[in-house]
Structure 1
Amino acid sequence: MTIQYLITGATGGLGGLILDYFIENVPPSEFAASSSNPKNSSRFVSRGVQFRHLNYEDPISLDSGLQDVQNLLFISTNTNIIHIDRIEKQHRNVVDAAQRAKVKHVWYTSLPFGGLANESEVAVQRAHLATERMLQESSLVFTSIREAIYVEAFPIFINWYANTTKVTLPGDGEIAFTSRVELAECTARLMLGGGFENRTILLTAGETITAKEIVEVINETTDRQVELQYVSPREYVQINQRNDEGGKPLAFFELFAAMWKEIGSGALQTTDGLMREILGRDPMTPREAVRQLLVANRDHSWHQNYA
């Protein structure tokens, strides 16, 4: 049976929100959801959604799950970002299987470090660039969607928890933080509208925000008095790893120290008007999005802030 749209990562944040948009706007015969765990089937079938089992580490499941798929939403793996080699291997499996299945169009969710350029030295972005090259060198029609950094993830960037009184960073810079809810809607609309064949595009809010400004919003919105201090990259790694409430490893903070160096050089400051064009409205500004999150839950957290 032909499936017009297959949504991977449908149990995750972005994929789940995209699936919600499809459920509300697209006939159920035209799309299916997938998960790496076949036991998740009932979660979708109970909502009237077709299910496919896709495990990025299992080529057999990929070959079976991608049969007769026209448009594949290829959500990048949720493997921990410190395991770059594993990420690239999993993505290679998906690209190869999509070629074997003759998928008509692959919509890949990438990251925005460096904007639309390809020179970023951030390790996790290099993994995404490698995947983009896999797609470019394949026989597949693709669109690489460089999704802005989710504003919901701001706690992991500044290592902030509900009990944090002092944020310690190795630097600062402009970040085009963008609502994951709006990114999901935009991505769904993009797929349904079609086009953008063999292109890399960037989806972002229209403004940026710094860590200093985020801390200001935290304090203004929650009546906290969180302090912000800047230290050397070495001190940042030592202080945060030693005091981390989430128990994250040393390698995590080493990665983020390098990431903040790139951010300080403008790696996440690029904004683009395409998201506004597709949504037909201005996306929320980062400041307003952070404020809304904290109004809804003054102790807003992010799952990746915990080991």
Structure 2
Amino acid sequence: MIIITGATGALNGATVDHLLAHVPASEITVAVRDTTKAQRFADLGIAVRHGDYAAPDSLPDAFAGADQLLLVSSSDPTADAVSLHAAAIRAAVTAGVGRILYTSHQGAAVDSPFGPARDHAMTEQLLADCGVAWTSLRNGFYAHSLDSLAGPWRETGVVAVPADGPVSWTAREDSAEAAAIILASDGKYDGPTTLTASAALTFADFAAIASELTGRTIEVDVMDPKEWVAAQVAAGQPEFIASFLLGMYQAAHEGFFAGVDPLMADLLGREPKAVTDLLTPAAR
């Protein structure tokens, strides 16, 4: 049996949808915080269980019987993500799970300026130490984030960022499809497994693409980091969120998101979506 957490979210929900092309619904279970939001899976014949990382006592039963368990990483910037992940890993060990898979990130590193990347690296170490077979899905930075990370460039004609560097912008839908294929392979992929688009683009590259698509000149303004944070706060962004996001740009500048890997294309049997495919219709 394959058990998937976080299936009411966009990433692992899509993973379940793709997995149905490989295995019958009777072999899939979803473990979610709010079972009332998982009715569409029940309607497909998929078992639905309650499981909440923040309620560790709920997890061993939620994970029981799993040959493979896909753990979604916490996306709450205010949470102690590593503690939540540790609780889930302990419960998986208790439940006798055969293999733990985890949605990590390409830039996972303890010395990254980006907080989630450090969380991913520490979680991977927990997996390596837990005594259970594991696979870390190191997904490229999700390309839909460009809508917010590039700022209101459609209105201003300027991509204002506090630092620039190459990022392997990767479609979340492609990451979900690749995860389903890896789950269906039943252990073929072990340990850190990098899943990215085929190119890494800077924000300057993005501005050039946006210029071509819109017929306008879109410029890049690399601002002083403190001035950028102040501008974000002035625009209504909470300061802790602006500071949190600053780490992403700094990590990009330092090359943490620059690598690309052909595995995604090999798994999908096609080229992964590129930034030109993913810009919203309003950009065209």
TM-score by length of 2: 0.91
Q: Indicate which of 25, 30, 37 corresponds to 1:28.
A: 25
Q: Indicate which of 136, 139, 148 corresponds to 2:128.
A: 136
- In structure 1, the residue matched to 2:259 is 270
- In structure 1, the residue matched to 2:14 is 17
Q: Indicate which of 188, 191, 198 corresponds to 2:183.
A: 191
- Whether the aligned pair in 2 keeps the contact of 1:145 and 1:202 (CA below 8 Å) is yes
- Whether the aligned pair in 2 keeps the contact of 1:155 and 1:161 (CA below 8 Å) is no
| SS, match of residue 25 in structure 1 | coil
Q: Which amino acid aligns with 2:42?
A: V
- In structure 2, the residue matched to 1:102 is 96
CA offsets 1:42-72 (integer angstroms, 9 cap, x no match):
2321232211111110112112111111100
Q: Which amino acid aligns with 1:289?
A: D
- In structure 1, the residue matched to 2:197 is 205
- In structure 1, the residue matched to 2:106 is 112
Unaligned segments of structure 1, at least 5 residues: 301-307
Unaligned segments of structure 2, at least 5 residues: none
Does the C-alpha gap of structure 1 residues 87 and 274 become closer, same or farther in structure 2, counting only changes over 3 Å? same
Superposed counterparts of 1:43-54, under 5 Å: 43-54=40-51
- In structure 1, the residue matched to 2:159 is 167
CA offsets 1:81-100 (integer angstroms, 9 cap, x no match):
2x25x211111110010010
Q: Which amino acid aligns with 1:93?
A: A
CA–CA distance in 1 between the matches of 2:242 and 2:188? 36
Does the C-alpha gap of structure 1 residues 33 and 193 become closer, same or farther in structure 2, counting only changes over 3 Å? same
- Whether the aligned pair in 2 keeps the contact of 1:141 and 1:197 (CA below 8 Å) is no
CA–CA distance in 1 between the matches of 2:215 and 2:6? 37
Comparing 258-267 with 184-193, greater Cα deviation is found at: 258-267
CA shift for structure 1 position 225: 5.4
- In structure 2, the residue matched to 1:71 is 68
- In structure 1, the residue matched to 2:277 is 289
Q: Indicate which of 210, 232, 240 corresponds to 1:251.
A: 240
- Whether the aligned pair in 2 keeps the contact of 1:218 and 1:294 (CA below 8 Å) is no
- Whether the aligned pair in 2 keeps the contact of 1:171 and 1:264 (CA below 8 Å) is yes
| SS, match of residue 110 in structure 1 | strand
- In structure 2, the residue matched to 1:238 is 230
| SS, match of residue 24 in structure 1 | coil
CA shift for structure 1 position 262: 2.0
CA–CA distance in 2 between the matches of 1:138 and 1:186? 25
CA–CA distance in 2 between the matches of 1:16 and 1:224? 37
CA shift for structure 1 position 270: 0.3
Q: Indicate which of 86, 110, 126 corresponds to 1:92.
A: 86
CA offsets 1:223-249 (integer angstroms, 9 cap, x no match):
565543121111110112212xxx431
Q: Which amino acid aligns with 2:92?
A: A
Comparing 219-228 with 145-154, greater Cα deviation is found at: 219-228
Q: Indicate which of 119, 122, 139 corresponds to 2:114.
A: 122
Q: Indicate which of 144, 147, 157 corresponds to 2:139.
A: 147
Comparing 96-105 with 49-58, greater Cα deviation is found at: 49-58
Q: Which amino acid aligns with 2:202?
A: T
CA shift for structure 1 position 221: 2.9
CA shift for structure 1 position 41: 3.8
CA shift for structure 1 position 164: 4.9
Does the C-alpha gap of structure 1 residues 237 and 118 become closer, same or farther in structure 2, counting only changes over 3 Å? closer
CA–CA distance in 2 between the matches of 1:161 and 1:55? 38
- In structure 2, the residue matched to 1:56 is 53
Q: Which amino acid aligns with 2:165?
A: G
Comparing 91-100 with 39-48, greater Cα deviation is found at: 39-48
CA offsets 1:201-240 (integer angstroms, 9 cap, x no match):
1111111111122233334334565543121111110112
Percent identical residues: 27
- Whether the aligned pair in 2 keeps the contact of 1:136 and 1:198 (CA below 8 Å) is no
Report the number of matched residues: 284
Q: CA RMSD in A?
A: 2.2
| SS, match of residue 174 in structure 1 | coil
| SS, match of residue 67 in structure 2 | strand
CA–CA distance in 1 between the matches of 2:270 and 2:253? 29
